Amino acid sequence: MNAIFNIIGIPLGYVLWFIYRFVGNYFVSIFLFTLIVRAATFPLSLKSQKSQADRARLAPRLERIQKKYAQDKQKLQQKQMELYEKEGVSMTGGCLPMVVQMVILMGIISVIYSPLTHLARIPEPVISASVTAVTQPTVKNDKGEDVLDSQPNKVNPKDLTGYYRELKMLMVADKNEGDIKSAINGLSDADRKNKTADEYYEQMLHIRNDFSFFGGTLLENPWQPGGFKSINILWLIPLISALTAVASSIISMRYTKQLTPQGEKVPGQGCSNFMMLGLMPMFSLYIAFIVPGGVGIYWICSNIIAVVQTIILNNIYNPAKIRAQAEAEYEERRKRKAEDKKRLKEARLREEEEARRQAKEEAEEKPKKTTRKKKAESAEGEEAAAEEALDRLDRKLEQTMRAVEASYEKNKERWVDTLFSLIVGVQP
Protein backbone atom coordinates (compact mmCIF):
# COMPACT_ATOMS: atom_id res chain seq x y z
CA MET A 1 0.00 0.00 0.00
CA ASN A 2 2.86 2.35 0.82
CA ALA A 3 4.28 1.75 -2.66
CA ILE A 4 0.94 2.62 -4.24
CA PHE A 5 0.73 5.84 -2.21
CA ASN A 6 4.23 6.78 -3.32
CA ILE A 7 3.41 6.17 -6.99
CA ILE A 8 0.34 8.40 -6.73
CA GLY A 9 2.32 10.96 -4.76
CA ILE A 10 5.15 11.37 -7.30
CA PRO A 11 3.30 13.67 -9.77
CA LEU A 12 1.52 15.48 -6.94
CA GLY A 13 4.84 15.91 -5.19
CA TYR A 14 6.30 17.63 -8.25
CA VAL A 15 3.37 20.04 -8.33
CA LEU A 16 3.64 20.84 -4.63
CA TRP A 17 7.43 21.14 -4.90
CA PHE A 18 7.12 23.64 -7.74
CA ILE A 19 4.61 25.73 -5.81
CA TYR A 20 6.69 25.53 -2.66
CA ARG A 21 9.82 26.73 -4.47
CA PHE A 22 7.85 29.57 -6.00
CA VAL A 23 6.08 30.94 -2.88
CA GLY A 24 8.44 29.67 -0.16
CA ASN A 25 5.60 29.13 2.33
CA TYR A 26 4.10 25.80 3.22
CA PHE A 27 0.62 27.05 4.15
CA VAL A 28 0.29 29.06 0.94
CA SER A 29 1.68 26.09 -1.01
CA ILE A 30 -0.95 23.77 0.43
CA PHE A 31 -3.76 26.20 -0.38
CA LEU A 32 -2.53 26.85 -3.93
CA PHE A 33 -1.98 23.14 -4.43
CA THR A 34 -5.53 22.40 -3.31
CA LEU A 35 -6.83 25.11 -5.60
CA ILE A 36 -4.92 23.66 -8.57
CA VAL A 37 -6.16 20.14 -7.80
CA ARG A 38 -9.75 21.39 -7.58
CA ALA A 39 -9.34 23.35 -10.80
CA ALA A 40 -7.90 20.29 -12.57
CA THR A 41 -10.82 18.14 -11.40
CA PHE A 42 -13.42 20.84 -12.06
CA PRO A 43 -14.44 19.38 -15.45
CA LEU A 44 -15.15 16.09 -13.68
CA SER A 45 -17.14 17.90 -11.01
CA LEU A 46 -19.00 19.82 -13.70
CA LYS A 47 -19.80 16.55 -15.48
CA SER A 48 -20.99 15.09 -12.19
CA GLN A 49 -23.18 18.13 -11.57
CA LYS A 50 -24.61 17.86 -15.07
CA SER A 51 -25.31 14.18 -14.47
CA GLN A 52 -27.14 15.11 -11.27
CA ALA A 53 -29.08 17.77 -13.16
CA ASP A 54 -29.99 15.22 -15.85
CA ARG A 55 -31.27 12.84 -13.19
CA ALA A 56 -33.27 15.70 -11.69
CA ARG A 57 -34.73 16.38 -15.14
CA LEU A 58 -35.80 12.76 -15.40
CA ALA A 59 -37.05 12.60 -11.81
CA PRO A 60 -40.74 13.30 -12.62
CA ARG A 61 -40.81 10.56 -15.24
CA LEU A 62 -38.95 8.17 -12.95
CA GLU A 63 -41.47 8.79 -10.19
CA ARG A 64 -44.33 7.96 -12.56
CA ILE A 65 -42.53 4.79 -13.65
CA GLN A 66 -42.02 3.81 -10.01
CA LYS A 67 -45.70 4.29 -9.24
CA LYS A 68 -46.77 2.41 -12.35
CA TYR A 69 -44.50 -0.60 -11.83
CA ALA A 70 -44.29 -0.59 -8.04
CA GLN A 71 -45.37 -4.22 -7.87
CA ASP A 72 -43.05 -5.45 -10.64
CA LYS A 73 -39.45 -4.77 -9.64
CA GLN A 74 -37.98 -6.39 -12.74
CA LYS A 75 -40.18 -4.36 -15.06
CA LEU A 76 -39.44 -1.24 -12.99
CA GLN A 77 -35.68 -1.68 -13.39
CA GLN A 78 -36.06 -2.38 -17.10
CA LYS A 79 -38.12 0.76 -17.70
CA GLN A 80 -35.71 2.89 -15.67
CA MET A 81 -32.73 1.60 -17.64
CA GLU A 82 -34.57 2.21 -20.91
CA LEU A 83 -35.30 5.79 -19.85
CA TYR A 84 -31.68 6.45 -18.83
CA GLU A 85 -30.40 4.93 -22.09
CA LYS A 86 -32.88 6.88 -24.20
CA GLU A 87 -31.93 10.18 -22.56
CA GLY A 88 -28.19 9.41 -22.50
CA VAL A 89 -27.93 9.74 -18.72
CA SER A 90 -25.43 7.70 -16.70
CA MET A 91 -26.50 6.38 -13.31
CA THR A 92 -22.91 6.47 -12.05
CA GLY A 93 -21.92 9.80 -13.59
CA GLY A 94 -21.40 11.41 -10.17
CA CYS A 95 -19.00 8.79 -8.78
CA LEU A 96 -15.85 9.61 -10.74
CA PRO A 97 -15.02 12.95 -9.03
CA MET A 98 -15.32 11.28 -5.62
CA VAL A 99 -12.99 8.47 -6.70
CA VAL A 100 -10.49 11.00 -8.09
CA GLN A 101 -10.61 13.00 -4.86
CA MET A 102 -9.88 9.88 -2.82
CA VAL A 103 -6.95 8.99 -5.09
CA ILE A 104 -5.58 12.53 -4.77
CA LEU A 105 -6.00 12.39 -1.00
CA MET A 106 -3.89 9.23 -0.89
CA GLY A 107 -1.25 11.00 -2.96
CA ILE A 108 -1.35 14.03 -0.65
CA ILE A 109 -0.88 11.79 2.38
CA SER A 110 2.16 10.30 0.71
CA VAL A 111 3.55 13.77 -0.06
CA ILE A 112 3.05 14.98 3.53
CA TYR A 113 4.52 11.81 4.97
CA SER A 114 7.56 12.12 2.70
CA PRO A 115 8.48 15.83 2.59
CA LEU A 116 12.17 15.15 2.00
CA THR A 117 11.35 13.06 -1.08
CA HIS A 118 8.63 15.24 -2.59
CA LEU A 119 9.34 18.80 -1.37
CA ALA A 120 13.09 18.92 -0.81
CA ARG A 121 13.81 16.43 -3.64
CA ILE A 122 16.58 14.84 -1.54
CA PRO A 123 17.97 11.61 -3.06
CA GLU A 124 16.90 8.35 -1.42
CA PRO A 125 20.46 7.29 -0.40
CA VAL A 126 20.82 10.55 1.56
CA ILE A 127 17.46 10.02 3.27
CA SER A 128 18.28 6.41 4.13
CA ALA A 129 21.67 7.40 5.57
CA SER A 130 20.05 10.14 7.67
CA VAL A 131 17.39 7.72 8.97
CA THR A 132 20.11 5.24 9.95
CA ALA A 133 21.98 8.03 11.74
CA VAL A 134 19.04 8.77 14.07
CA THR A 135 18.16 5.12 14.75
CA GLN A 136 18.74 3.79 18.24
CA PRO A 137 21.77 1.51 18.15
CA THR A 138 21.89 -2.00 19.57
CA VAL A 139 24.17 -3.14 22.40
CA LYS A 140 24.92 -6.46 24.04
CA ASN A 141 23.26 -7.14 27.36
CA ASP A 142 24.59 -9.40 30.15
CA LYS A 143 23.27 -12.43 28.28
CA GLY A 144 25.01 -11.47 25.07
CA GLU A 145 21.75 -10.56 23.37
CA ASP A 146 21.32 -7.54 21.09
CA VAL A 147 19.08 -4.93 22.73
CA LEU A 148 18.33 -1.32 21.90
CA ASP A 149 20.40 1.37 23.50
CA SER A 150 17.58 3.73 24.48
CA GLN A 151 19.16 7.06 23.72
CA PRO A 152 16.77 10.04 24.20
CA ASN A 153 17.76 11.73 20.94
CA LYS A 154 17.45 8.59 18.87
CA VAL A 155 14.36 6.92 17.39
CA ASN A 156 13.19 3.34 17.81
CA PRO A 157 13.74 1.38 14.56
CA LYS A 158 10.05 0.34 14.59
CA ASP A 159 9.08 4.03 14.24
CA LEU A 160 11.40 4.52 11.28
CA THR A 161 9.58 2.17 8.94
CA GLY A 162 6.59 2.80 6.72
CA TYR A 163 4.87 6.16 6.52
CA TYR A 164 6.61 7.92 9.42
CA ARG A 165 10.15 7.22 8.30
CA GLU A 166 11.03 10.74 7.14
CA LEU A 167 8.85 12.53 9.68
CA LYS A 168 10.37 10.83 12.68
CA MET A 169 13.85 11.54 11.37
CA LEU A 170 13.07 15.22 10.92
CA MET A 171 11.70 15.48 14.46
CA VAL A 172 15.13 14.67 15.92
CA ALA A 173 17.34 16.04 13.12
CA ASP A 174 18.45 19.08 15.13
CA LYS A 175 19.64 16.81 17.94
CA ASN A 176 21.66 14.52 15.66
CA GLU A 177 23.42 17.01 13.40
CA GLY A 178 26.86 15.41 13.64
CA ASP A 179 25.63 11.84 13.05
CA ILE A 180 23.52 12.90 10.07
CA LYS A 181 26.31 14.85 8.41
CA SER A 182 28.76 12.05 9.04
CA ALA A 183 26.39 9.49 7.51
CA ILE A 184 25.85 11.65 4.43
CA ASN A 185 29.58 12.30 4.00
CA GLY A 186 30.08 8.54 3.97
CA LEU A 187 28.12 8.32 0.72
CA SER A 188 29.66 8.51 -2.73
CA ASP A 189 29.49 11.66 -4.82
CA ALA A 190 27.05 9.90 -7.13
CA ASP A 191 24.70 9.15 -4.25
CA ARG A 192 25.03 12.70 -2.93
CA LYS A 193 24.52 14.22 -6.40
CA ASN A 194 27.72 16.23 -5.81
CA LYS A 195 26.15 18.14 -2.91
CA THR A 196 27.67 18.41 0.55
CA ALA A 197 26.27 17.06 3.81
CA ASP A 198 25.90 20.63 5.11
CA GLU A 199 23.67 21.54 2.18
CA TYR A 200 21.39 18.55 2.72
CA TYR A 201 21.23 19.16 6.46
CA GLU A 202 20.22 22.77 5.89
CA GLN A 203 17.45 21.60 3.55
CA MET A 204 16.18 19.26 6.24
CA LEU A 205 16.13 21.98 8.88
CA HIS A 206 14.42 24.37 6.48
CA ILE A 207 11.65 21.83 5.78
CA ARG A 208 11.29 21.14 9.52
CA ASN A 209 11.08 24.82 10.43
CA ASP A 210 8.70 25.65 7.58
CA PHE A 211 6.27 23.05 8.93
CA SER A 212 6.00 24.90 12.24
CA PHE A 213 2.51 25.76 13.43
CA PHE A 214 2.18 28.14 16.37
CA GLY A 215 4.82 26.33 18.39
CA GLY A 216 3.98 22.89 16.98
CA THR A 217 4.87 21.21 13.74
CA LEU A 218 2.64 19.97 10.95
CA LEU A 219 4.89 16.94 10.65
CA GLU A 220 3.33 15.52 13.82
CA ASN A 221 -0.08 14.00 14.38
CA PRO A 222 -2.41 16.09 16.53
CA TRP A 223 -3.22 13.03 18.61
CA GLN A 224 -0.25 12.18 20.83
CA PRO A 225 0.31 9.09 23.01
CA GLY A 226 -0.86 11.01 26.10
CA GLY A 227 -4.37 11.33 24.67
CA PHE A 228 -6.48 14.09 26.18
CA LYS A 229 -3.66 14.89 28.59
CA SER A 230 -1.49 15.92 25.63
CA ILE A 231 -3.78 18.60 24.15
CA ASN A 232 -1.75 20.84 21.87
CA ILE A 233 -2.19 23.58 19.27
CA LEU A 234 -2.48 20.99 16.50
CA TRP A 235 -5.93 20.01 17.84
CA LEU A 236 -7.26 23.10 16.10
CA ILE A 237 -6.67 21.43 12.75
CA PRO A 238 -9.04 18.44 13.26
CA LEU A 239 -11.65 20.69 14.84
CA ILE A 240 -11.57 23.17 11.97
CA SER A 241 -11.53 20.27 9.50
CA ALA A 242 -14.69 18.84 11.08
CA LEU A 243 -16.41 22.26 11.09
CA THR A 244 -15.60 22.87 7.42
CA ALA A 245 -16.83 19.34 6.61
CA VAL A 246 -20.14 20.17 8.36
CA ALA A 247 -20.37 23.45 6.42
CA SER A 248 -19.74 21.62 3.14
CA SER A 249 -22.40 19.02 4.03
CA ILE A 250 -24.95 21.71 4.94
CA ILE A 251 -24.45 23.51 1.64
CA SER A 252 -24.71 20.25 -0.29
CA MET A 253 -27.86 19.19 1.63
CA ARG A 254 -29.44 22.59 1.02
CA TYR A 255 -29.27 22.10 -2.73
CA THR A 256 -30.19 18.42 -2.49
CA LYS A 257 -33.29 19.26 -0.41
CA GLN A 258 -34.55 21.49 -3.21
CA LEU A 259 -34.87 18.39 -5.40
CA THR A 260 -37.52 16.92 -3.10
CA PRO A 261 -41.07 18.22 -3.65
CA GLN A 262 -42.32 20.21 -0.68
CA GLY A 263 -43.98 18.01 1.93
CA GLU A 264 -42.76 14.77 0.38
CA LYS A 265 -40.88 12.39 2.66
CA VAL A 266 -37.98 10.57 1.11
CA PRO A 267 -37.25 7.08 2.49
CA GLY A 268 -33.89 6.96 4.23
CA GLN A 269 -33.51 10.75 4.25
CA GLY A 270 -32.96 10.79 7.99
CA CYS A 271 -30.17 8.25 7.69
CA SER A 272 -28.60 10.25 4.85
CA ASN A 273 -28.72 13.45 6.91
CA PHE A 274 -27.07 11.66 9.82
CA MET A 275 -24.33 10.41 7.51
CA MET A 276 -23.60 13.87 6.10
CA LEU A 277 -23.94 15.92 9.30
CA GLY A 278 -22.79 13.37 11.83
CA LEU A 279 -20.79 10.44 10.60
CA MET A 280 -18.78 12.11 7.84
CA PRO A 281 -17.62 15.08 9.97
CA MET A 282 -16.73 12.67 12.79
CA PHE A 283 -14.77 10.56 10.33
CA SER A 284 -13.01 13.71 9.09
CA LEU A 285 -12.27 14.64 12.70
CA TYR A 286 -10.83 11.20 13.44
CA ILE A 287 -8.65 11.06 10.32
CA ALA A 288 -7.32 14.58 10.92
CA PHE A 289 -6.22 13.52 14.41
CA ILE A 290 -4.21 10.47 13.30
CA VAL A 291 -2.45 11.90 10.22
CA PRO A 292 0.19 14.65 10.12
CA GLY A 293 -1.14 18.16 10.54
CA GLY A 294 -0.23 18.99 6.95
CA VAL A 295 -2.86 16.52 5.72
CA GLY A 296 -5.44 18.23 7.92
CA ILE A 297 -4.49 21.60 6.42
CA TYR A 298 -5.12 20.17 2.95
CA TRP A 299 -8.45 18.80 4.14
CA ILE A 300 -9.50 22.20 5.50
CA CYS A 301 -8.55 23.97 2.28
CA SER A 302 -10.32 21.30 0.25
CA ASN A 303 -13.54 21.69 2.27
CA ILE A 304 -13.51 25.48 1.92
CA ILE A 305 -12.92 25.30 -1.83
CA ALA A 306 -15.57 22.57 -2.07
CA VAL A 307 -18.16 24.95 -0.59
CA VAL A 308 -17.34 27.63 -3.16
CA GLN A 309 -17.27 25.03 -5.95
CA THR A 310 -20.66 23.64 -4.92
CA ILE A 311 -22.22 27.11 -5.10
CA ILE A 312 -20.67 27.77 -8.52
CA LEU A 313 -21.74 24.39 -9.93
CA ASN A 314 -25.30 24.82 -8.69
CA ASN A 315 -25.45 28.19 -10.39
CA ILE A 316 -24.36 26.56 -13.65
CA TYR A 317 -26.46 23.40 -13.36
CA ASN A 318 -29.08 23.79 -10.65
CA PRO A 319 -30.83 20.41 -10.30
CA ALA A 320 -33.76 21.96 -8.43
CA LYS A 321 -34.44 24.51 -11.16
CA ILE A 322 -34.00 21.89 -13.87
CA ARG A 323 -36.43 19.56 -12.11
CA ALA A 324 -38.95 22.37 -11.65
CA GLN A 325 -38.60 23.21 -15.34
CA ALA A 326 -39.05 19.53 -16.27
CA GLU A 327 -42.16 19.29 -14.10
CA ALA A 328 -43.55 22.50 -15.64
CA GLU A 329 -42.87 21.16 -19.14
CA TYR A 330 -44.50 17.86 -18.23
CA GLU A 331 -47.53 19.68 -16.81
CA GLU A 332 -47.76 21.74 -19.99
CA ARG A 333 -47.55 18.59 -22.14
CA ARG A 334 -50.15 16.92 -19.93
CA LYS A 335 -52.53 19.88 -20.36
CA ARG A 336 -52.00 19.90 -24.12
CA LYS A 337 -52.57 16.16 -24.25
CA ALA A 338 -55.75 16.53 -22.17
CA GLU A 339 -56.97 19.28 -24.48
CA ASP A 340 -56.16 17.15 -27.52
CA LYS A 341 -58.03 14.22 -26.03
CA LYS A 342 -60.97 16.49 -25.24
CA ARG A 343 -61.05 17.84 -28.79
CA LEU A 344 -60.77 14.30 -30.17
CA LYS A 345 -63.59 13.14 -27.94
CA GLU A 346 -65.76 16.05 -29.03
CA ALA A 347 -64.99 15.29 -32.69
CA ARG A 348 -65.91 11.64 -32.15
CA LEU A 349 -69.14 12.66 -30.44
CA ARG A 350 -69.98 14.92 -33.37
CA GLU A 351 -69.24 12.09 -35.79
CA GLU A 352 -71.39 9.69 -33.80
CA GLU A 353 -74.22 12.25 -33.64
CA GLU A 354 -73.98 12.82 -37.38
CA ALA A 355 -74.03 9.06 -37.97
CA ARG A 356 -77.12 8.69 -35.78
CA ARG A 357 -78.83 11.55 -37.60
CA GLN A 358 -78.07 10.04 -40.96
CA ALA A 359 -79.31 6.65 -39.79
CA LYS A 360 -82.52 8.24 -38.56
CA GLU A 361 -83.05 10.08 -41.82
CA GLU A 362 -82.38 6.90 -43.75
CA ALA A 363 -84.83 5.05 -41.58
CA GLU A 364 -87.45 7.72 -42.16
CA GLU A 365 -86.73 7.86 -45.89
CA LYS A 366 -86.95 4.11 -46.45
CA PRO A 367 -90.80 3.84 -46.43
CA LYS A 368 -91.04 6.80 -48.81
CA LYS A 369 -88.55 5.16 -51.11
CA THR A 370 -90.58 1.95 -50.97
CA THR A 371 -93.80 3.81 -51.91
CA ARG A 372 -92.06 5.65 -54.70
CA LYS A 373 -90.62 2.40 -55.89
CA LYS A 374 -93.99 0.73 -55.91
CA LYS A 375 -95.51 3.68 -57.74
CA ALA A 376 -92.69 3.63 -60.21
CA GLU A 377 -93.08 -0.07 -60.65
CA SER A 378 -96.90 0.40 -61.16
CA ALA A 379 -96.37 3.20 -63.67
CA GLU A 380 -93.81 1.11 -65.45
CA GLY A 381 -96.37 -1.74 -65.59
CA GLU A 382 -99.12 0.44 -66.98
CA GLU A 383 -96.77 1.92 -69.53
CA ALA A 384 -95.67 -1.53 -70.57
CA ALA A 385 -99.33 -2.61 -70.92
CA ALA A 386 -100.15 0.43 -73.02
CA GLU A 387 -97.15 -0.17 -75.19
CA GLU A 388 -98.19 -3.78 -75.58
CA ALA A 389 -101.77 -2.72 -76.58
CA LEU A 390 -100.39 -0.26 -79.07
CA ASP A 391 -98.15 -2.95 -80.46
CA ARG A 392 -101.18 -5.22 -80.85
CA LEU A 393 -103.15 -2.44 -82.57
CA ASP A 394 -100.20 -1.70 -84.86
CA ARG A 395 -99.94 -5.35 -85.75
CA LYS A 396 -103.76 -5.51 -86.43
CA LEU A 397 -103.62 -2.39 -88.58
CA GLU A 398 -100.65 -3.78 -90.45
CA GLN A 399 -102.55 -7.00 -91.07
CA THR A 400 -105.59 -5.05 -92.26
CA MET A 401 -103.47 -2.95 -94.62
CA ARG A 402 -101.83 -6.03 -96.02
CA ALA A 403 -105.27 -7.55 -96.57
CA VAL A 404 -106.50 -4.42 -98.32
CA GLU A 405 -103.47 -4.29 -100.49
CA ALA A 406 -103.87 -7.92 -101.43
CA SER A 407 -107.55 -7.39 -102.21
CA TYR A 408 -106.73 -4.38 -104.32
CA GLU A 409 -104.10 -6.24 -106.30
CA LYS A 410 -106.52 -9.02 -106.87
CA ASN A 411 -109.51 -6.92 -107.95
CA LYS A 412 -107.94 -3.75 -109.32
CA GLU A 413 -108.74 -4.58 -113.02
CA ARG A 414 -112.33 -5.21 -112.24
CA TRP A 415 -112.52 -2.05 -110.17
CA VAL A 416 -110.96 -0.05 -113.02
CA ASP A 417 -113.50 -1.33 -115.57
CA THR A 418 -116.30 -0.63 -113.24
CA LEU A 419 -115.03 2.82 -112.56
CA PHE A 420 -114.60 3.51 -116.32
CA SER A 421 -118.12 2.41 -117.09
CA LEU A 422 -119.47 4.60 -114.41
CA ILE A 423 -117.63 7.51 -115.81
CA VAL A 424 -118.49 7.04 -119.47
CA GLY A 425 -121.84 5.28 -118.93
CA VAL A 426 -120.91 2.20 -120.85
CA GLN A 427 -120.88 -1.17 -119.26
CA PRO A 428 -117.91 -3.36 -119.96
Task: Give tens-digit pLDDT for 132-170.
Answer: 999 988 887 777 777 777 788 898 888 787 777 888 898
Which pLDDT score is estimated for 107?
A: 78
| Nearest 10 degrees: Cα torsion 171, 176, 181, 182 | -140
Model pLDDT for residues 178-200, shown as the tens digit of each residue: 999 999 999 998 999 989 999 99
DSSP-assigned states of every residue in 151-218: -TTSB-GGGGSGGGHHHHHHHTGGG-HHHHHHHHHTS-HHHHTT--HHHHHHHHHHHHHHTEETTEET
Q: Which of 326, 330, 329 is nearest to 89 (CA)?
A: 326
In angstroms, rounded to a whole number, what is the distance separating the alpha carbons of residues 18 and 210? 16
Q: Is the pTM of this model over 0.75?
A: no
Q: Which of 95, 66, 104, 90 is nearest to 299 (CA)?
A: 104
- Extents of the domains making up the chain: 2-321
Q: Are the C-beta atoms of residues 80 and 65 closer than 8 Å to each other?
A: yes
175 forms beta bridges with none
Please report which confidence band the pLDDT of residue 263 belongs to, taking 50, 70 and 90 as the band edges: very low
Q: Which of 167, 202, 210, 160 is nearest to 184 (CA)?
A: 202
CA quadruple 115, 119, 125, 126: dihedral positive or negative? negative
In angstroms, rounded to a whole number, what is the distance separating the alpha carbons of residues 420 and 426? 8
Arithmetic mean of pLDDT, 245-270: 64
In angstroms, rounded to a whole number, what is the distance separating the alpha carbons of residues 304 and 298? 10
Arithmetic mean of pLDDT, 83-90: 68
Please report which confidence band the pLDDT of residue 332 belongs to, taking 50, 70 and 90 as the band edges: confident
In angstroms, rounded to a whole number, what is the distance separating the alpha carbons of residues 282 and 210? 29
